[in-house]
Structure 1
Amino acid sequence: MDFATPQVFANAKDEPDDADPRIGQKLEIKMCEARYNSDSTRIALHAGTKRKAWAPAEVNQESALLVTRYYGRLGELEYTEMEVRSPYIRAALRAVIKEYPGLTFDTGKILIRDELRCIFHYREELRDYGLRLSDQTAAQHLIFFLNYMYNSLTREISSFYTFMESPTAAPGIEHEFLWMAFKPGSFILHSRKGIQRILRFSSMKLDSFSRW
């Protein structure tokens, strides 16, 4: 299935984004940490910055991806957020995924929090999109992005392929990775008391009791 129109591919080659084309051109991941200082202000720091040398991290516009870990007042990790700055990756996400629960791709910034669920669920479509690209720079950015997703979800993906795609066993997966089995927008056959219904899956969230 072709998930991108010819015009989208033209944009990915010539003018991949409506933002400044100089932003996000470098194939690297900039890591930052957002921590509270003595004034109870949370500031972004380059990862590994010592407390005595605290100073706001300079805005780096060249990196394709900016990953920031946000810490609470007691030093606990609250969440991780990735900003997609590469215009080529942004074009791919807008062409392939278009929309995803909790995310929008048609705004100025593309921010993905915690697990890269949307990237995992659309990994095959993004790969197919990349195979169609004639611009090598755009293709390299997409490969870089997908590799980051696979490296970030190594344990989860190993479990998925072991239990969900086993040729000898019925599909199943560990409870904490259940989200991997259900892609938003998929149809699910629901049967109860002899009545069958086809439902469209929307989203799922783990509550404070570790229940979906």
Structure 2
Amino acid sequence: MKAAREFVVNTLVGGIFIVVPVYLAIVLLLKGMQSAARLVKPFAAMVPDWLPAETFFSLLLVLLACFLVGAAVRTKAGRAIREKMEKVFFERLPGYGLLRSLTQRLAGDTEESAWQPALSEIEDALVPSFIIEELADGRYTVFVPSIPTPFAGAVYVLARERVHPVDVPFTQAVRTISRWGSGSGEMVAAMRSPTSGPTA
């Protein structure tokens, strides 16, 4: 009964972590398109009525705005402004830093050190895990996901020698977990020395 309850809760939490960000992104996109519709009306009026020009131009304008913002934050000045905003506003939100690290990992940011795939020694076994941070005393905070839900599980603080970073992409580690451990052999083969520390 307890195992069934844990399975339902972990699966539900994992689904929420996937559905909620997607839902919020869609809502924000639709809101942005509604605001942009006023700006594109003059251009849409020049297109035949049978074409959904207003919707198309609104979507195009929102995507262009997102692209320009993304390009701006890649500049030196843009990065400085983004970091300032994060420190003043966003980092005060619970879980923002961890969510940002996860998002950057999903986007393939190789400079992000959090969520480094690893194999951790729990009792007498090696379990797929993610290094969240390194503590001042050299120990690691690791997140051990609950199979097959990658984003629900337990957090451990383990000695450095019990944590073995692996040189595989974050997405590959998530895929292994979501497939009930299929592909773990590649993680074992890519296991590094516990003394080398996590790298992106």
User: Which is greater in Rg?
Assistant: 2
Q: TM-score, normalised by structure 2?
A: 0.21
More helix by share: 2
More strand by share: 1
Q: TM-score, normalised by structure 1?
A: 0.21
